[in-house]
């Protein structure tokens, strides 16, 4: 049975795993994503692949990378400017030459949607629009047996849809982007906007405050639910999917907001979108790893 190396490039960590054809994660390695530049990312990919290959005979590599990716060549076409010496990086070609195995590269959020379709909550669905909530916000549209890429690798980049015109400055250069309001980072930033004396620096701290009954946290989460519901309604109207999938690391906190989101989504939508189910991802942070693995297995067929 072949084993592949799957890599998920998150905003705070880069995770590599050995995965078999049944979706079993045999070994997982996490490395903090501390430098966010091309050299660091490539060196981290190498370390992960070497370590996994030393224990398993790796047949192929799948990578969920940040930014907009030319999937034919595995090249980074665009990324926000916190990533230095990254745009133009030929990830697939470099790693194929070094490791002499096929390397498939896609956007990390698209990988998460693929993973949920392969082994998660979207399994069996023919048409899925996914919104992936983590450090930032990404998306992916799966239909007719494959992910839709877009001409420049940017299809379904819902995180940079403008939600509040003239709003908060985004790392992409626009103002009012979705990810400035509904990501994990947005929650604690918006909390600090309302309460400047606060020192929280993570979504975990935010939800601790929310669970403790903090009024500011309650207000921020209410706004989060409203904004996310608008995004989902827009996506449902634009893509007309069989289901709308909500995933990413932030979905792990859904006990605090999922029921409210479903009600608000139904309230804001029309008679058509109300027939498009809202589905919570099942694989959490494992989804992108599984999606990257699926890409690697597909290239072996």
Task: Walk me through the domains of the chain, giving residue ranges and CATH numbers.
Answer: 3-112+285-300 (3.30.420.40), 125-281 (3.30.420.40)
The per-residue pLDDT for 93 is 97
* Mean pLDDT computed over 108-124: 97
Task: For residue range 239-290, list pLDDT tens digits in order.
Answer: 999 999 999 999 999 999 999 999 999 999 999 999 999 999 999 889 999 9
The per-residue pLDDT for 213 is 97
* pLDDT higher than 80, residue 89: yes
The per-residue pLDDT for 1 is 85
Task: For residue range 187-200, list pLDDT tens digits in order.
Answer: 999 999 999 999 99
Q: Which of 112, 88, 128, 118 is nearest to 277 (CA)?
A: 128
The per-residue pLDDT for 176 is 98
* pLDDT higher than 90, residue 81: no
* Mean pLDDT computed over 21-30: 98
Q: Left, alpha or beta for 248 (phi > 0: left; psi -120 to 50: alpha)?
A: left
Average model confidence (pLDDT) across the chain: 95
**Tokens representing residue 89 in the block:** 């990086």
Which residue's entry shows tokens 């942070």? Answer: 285
* Mean pLDDT computed over 126-154: 94
Question: Please, is 119 exposed, middle or buried when counting C-beta atoms within 10 Å of its C-beta (0-12, 13-18, 19+)?
Answer: buried
Q: How far is CA 8 from CA 20, 64, 112, 150, 186, in A?
A: 16, 5, 9, 21, 21
* pLDDT higher than 80, residue 132: yes
């Amino acid at each position: 049975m072949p084993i592949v190396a799957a890599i998920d490039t998150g905003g705070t960590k880069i995770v590599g795993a050995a995965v078999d054809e049944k979706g079993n994660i045999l070994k997982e390695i996490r490395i903090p994503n501390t430098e966010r530049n091309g050299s660091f990312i490539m060196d981290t990919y190498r370390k992960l692949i070497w370590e996994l290959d030393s224990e398993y005979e790796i047949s192929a590599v799948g990578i969920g990378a940040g930014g907009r990716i030319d999937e034919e060549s595995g090249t980074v076409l665009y990324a926000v400017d916190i990533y230095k010496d990254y745009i133009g990086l030929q990830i697939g070609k470099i790693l194929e030459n070094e490791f002499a195995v096929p390397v498939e590269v896609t956007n990390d959020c698209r990988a998460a949607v693929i993973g949920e379709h392969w082994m998660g909550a979207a399994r069996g669905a023919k048409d899925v629009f996914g919104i992936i909530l983590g450090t930032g916000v990404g998306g992916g549209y799966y239909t007719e047996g494959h992910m839709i890429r877009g001409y420049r690798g940017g299809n379904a980049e819902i995180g940079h849809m403008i939600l509040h015109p003239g709003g908060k400055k985004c790392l992409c250069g626009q103002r009012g982007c979705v990810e400035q309001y509904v990501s994990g980072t947005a929650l604690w930033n918006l909390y600090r906007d309302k309460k400047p004396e606060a020192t929280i620096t993570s979504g975990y701290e935010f939800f601790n405050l929310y669970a403790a009954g903090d009024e500011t946290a309650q207000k921020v989460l209410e706004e989060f639910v409203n904004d996310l519901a608008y995004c989902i309604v827009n996506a449902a109207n634009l893509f007309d999917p069989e289901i709308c999938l909500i995933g990413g690391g932030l979905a792990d906190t859904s006990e605090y907001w999922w029921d409210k989101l479903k009600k608000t989504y139904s309230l804001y939508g029309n008679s058509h979108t109300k027939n498009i189910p809202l589905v919570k991802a099942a694989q959490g942070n494992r989804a992108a790893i599984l999606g990257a693995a699926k890409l690697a297995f597909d290239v072996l067929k």
